[in-house]
Amino acid sequence: DPTRGTSDDCQPCPCPTGVTCAVVPKSKEVVCTNCPVGTTGKRCELCDDGYFGDPLGQNGPVRACHICKCSDNIDPNAVGNCNRETGECLKCIYNTAGFFCDRCQEGFYGNALAPNVADKCKACSCSPLGTVGKQSSCSQVTGQCQCLPNVAERNCSACQPGFFNLQSGNGCERCDCNPIGSNN
Amino acid sequence: PRPDVDALPPGTHLLFAQSGRIDHVPLEGYDMKKKDAKAVLHLPEKVIIGVAYDCVDKMVYWTEITSPSISRASIQGGEPTAVIRSDLESPEGIAIDHLGRTMFWTDSLKDRIEVASLDGTQRRVIIDSDLVNPRAIITDPPHGNLYWADWNREAPKIETSYMDGSNRRVLIKDNLGLPNGLTYDSPSSLLCWADAGTHKVECMNPSRGDRSEVMEGIRYPFGVTSYGKNIYYTDWQRDSVVAVDRYSGKESDEMQPQKRTKLYGITTAYSQCPSGQNYCSVN
């Protein structure tokens, strides 16, 4: 406040080098006014929306603000894609999940990091009749559902050869055909 | 200009969000008085997305996504107060029915539209199905209509319903990309939208269904508002507020704030409320 006329009226801005500041008239609070790209806050201590880090190292080592790292599994038209401090991804798409949108959601399988959307995460679609506990989730990598006894296929939708009665919901039963009278 | 926290002088203004602040620029006629642009509110630790204005109590309302909440403050220099704090994930668009004294908002993670009294009480979900990325929402208080846009890349759409969520209909689903912003101009009965996918501003009379293009080749609109002959939109690539003359279809002005960062919602703060009443204000 230069109007008071003392030698320490004007003080340097408590901001990163080259950044200007202003005093809020009502609260007398000093606020930085043009923080570097990706940073914001009274002292440029926070990351902007779409960025994450800890530019002044308030909670540990200094980490400059970087654009959200979400394995290309976020939409640039969305807001709040990642936590501004930790970088945890908050709006994964293409059925992905995880801190970096780097794995498939529950109930989906495949490679969340595949470059083509079609190759990313597909629904498990486990057959309810052939799956233990009618679960809807499967192995995240192979997509194998957890099948009841003597049930086959990735999605547990068929009996193993020589077995029948998937409809029972308890697994498949041996055919017990007489080998002499049967052709397979 | 110094971006100080300040009361809004009389007259009509544009209010727009720039991450941790809400700025205003006074309108003189339809021109932006850029030199007089200032922050109305400084909330540096917040990320403000949607803004709405209540012309009756002269309060600004906003949605915020870092600690998801809806807050308000008097534009004559009042303290910000949170009115909704719980059960929000990504509140984005916000709109006010100044006649019924209610507010409406979209939540893009909960995928629903809610309503509450302006003080946050009497909260109710009015739409909770067939929403993927709801964002813009706008009211037409005299007719009791609500309009919103969903920028779902697979099937973007603009919808309408009454203010209780009944009589829901899809108004537009063809030739849309990323309809981020919506505005309704009562005098001309035109619903207009700014689309970051088709890079166009288009309008339609919702009851007649005729659609017309105002401008094409725009960069990356986010929020949009209308006032008289002009449409104003915020742009994510230009980091500025752009004025478009809706009759000539030409850009007439641009304002770029000192701080270069994304601009979000924008609204017109009328000096006086448009007249009218609706069933919510009567009952």
Tell whether A141 is covered by a domain: yes
B residues 73..102 contacting A (CB < 8 A): 77, 90, 92
Choose among B2, B196, B260: nearest Cβ to A22: B2
Tell whether A108 is covered by a domain: no
- What is the CATH number that goes with domain B13-282? 2.120.10.30
**Amino acid in position B215:** M
In chain B, the residue whose alpha carbon lies closest to the alpha carbon of A30 is: B4
In chain A, the residue whose alpha carbon lies closest to the alpha carbon of B5 is: A24
- Partner residues linked to B106 by β-bridges: B113
Tell whether A155 is covered by a domain: yes
Structure tokens at A55: 């530019």
Range of the domain at A168: 125-172
- Whether B215 contacts B244, CB under 8 Å: yes
* CATH number (domain holding residue A141): 2.10.25.10
Mean pLDDT (whole number) for A54-70: 95
- Dist. CA B145–CA B158, nearest whole Å: 13
Q: What is the pLDDT tens value at each position of chain B, 283 positions in all?
A: 333 345 566 789 999 999 889 999 999 988 999 999 988 998 888 999 999 999 999 999 999 999 999 999 998 877 899 999 999 999 999 999 999 999 999 999 999 999 999 999 999 999 999 999 999 999 999 999 999 999 999 999 999 999 999 999 999 999 999 999 999 998 889 999 999 999 999 999 999 989 999 999 999 999 999 998 999 999 999 999 999 999 999 999 999 998 888 999 999 999 888 766 665 555 5
- Kindly determine whether residue B262 and residue A34, on different chains, have CB atoms separated by under 8 Å: no
Ordered by start, the domain boundaries in chain B are 13-282
- Whether A68 contacts A52, CB under 8 Å: yes
- Kindly determine whether residue B47 and residue A49, on different chains, have CB atoms separated by under 8 Å: yes
Tell whether A49 is covered by a domain: no
- Residue A98 sits at φ, ψ, to 5 deg, of 100, 165
Tell whether A104 is covered by a domain: no
Nearest-Cα distance to chain B for A41, in Å, is 4
Structure tokens at A149: 């006894």
Tell whether A149 is covered by a domain: yes
In chain B, the residue whose alpha carbon lies closest to the alpha carbon of A44 is: B44
Tell whether A51 is covered by a domain: no
Where do the DSSP E strands lie in B108-217?
112-117, 124-127, 134-140, 145-150, 157-162, 169-172, 179-185, 190-195, 200-204, 211-216
Structural domains of chain A, count = 1
- Kindly determine whether residue B264 and residue A79, on different chains, have CB atoms separated by under 8 Å: yes
ipTM of the complex: 0.91
> Which long-range contacts link B182-186 to residues 24+ away (Cβ below 8 Å)?
B182/B93, B182/B136, B182/B137, B182/B138, B182/B147, B182/B148, B182/B149, B182/B158, B182/B224, B183/B138, B183/B224, B183/B225, B183/B226, B183/B231, B184/B138, B184/B139, B184/B140, B184/B147, B184/B226, B185/B226, B186/B140, B186/B142, B186/B274
- Kindly determine whether residue B5 and residue A27, on different chains, have CB atoms separated by under 8 Å: yes
- Taking CB atoms and an 8 Å cutoff, what residues of chain A touch B259? 33-35
Tell whether A181 is covered by a domain: no
